[in-house]
Amino acid sequence: CFRCGGIYGPERSMITSVLREQGNERSTTSAGGEMSATPKYVNRILVDDICSALLTAASSDDDSKDGRRSGKIFNLVDDDPAPRNEVGAEARRLLGLASTDDGNNEANNKAAAAGRKVRATSRNTGNKRCKNQRLKNEYGWEPSAPTFREGLMKLLDVESR
């Protein structure tokens, strides 16, 4: 069983989000946004690394007849779970844009002034740090983008066209 973290790739990355928000008012789930002062860690994986992991697993020689790998869960994630605002800051840096504050203070401040709470979304409620070590150990797989930094670098040319 393979369990994927947040999947990103061409037209589906923080670089895409940053480029889309340029000229628009930031939303509460904008690139880099955090809904609380405490960072919420998210596990990610580049779509190319999902493909390479599945191909590696499918082509491996599992010579055990006892189903040694059956029933195991393999996390398809990179090596560096990170808060959304860190990923947004890196995307902005790569694009040569000024970094923003911690993400969405403007949205939080507007909501507080109106006496409302900012509604939690799936992008800001998780806080997990999964590991991919079993996948590496049992299949010898290595991600081409070990962290979001390498992943964003790979996508920079494609996304910024």
Query: What is the rounded CA–CA span in Å between residue 152 and residue 46?
Result: 9
* Residue among 143, 129, 109 at smallest CA distance from 28: 109
Q: Within 10 A of 119 (CB to CB), how many other CB atoms are there?
A: 10
For every one of its 161 residues, what pLDDT tens digit does the chain have, with 9 covering 90 and above?
A: 899 999 999 999 999 999 888 856 444 444 555 445 678 899 999 999 999 999 999 988 765 555 566 678 999 999 999 999 999 999 999 999 987 654 444 444 444 455 555 555 555 566 889 999 999 999 999 999 999 999 999 999 887 66
Q: What is the pLDDT of residue 31?
A: 53
Q: What is the pLDDT of residue 63?
A: 56
Query: What is the rounded CA–CA span in Å between residue 20 and residue 17?
Result: 5
* Residue among 9, 19, 123 at smallest CA distance from 76: 9
pTM of this structure: 0.74
Burial of 55 (0-12, 13-18, 19+ CB in 10 A): exposed
Q: What is the pLDDT of residue 158?
A: 81
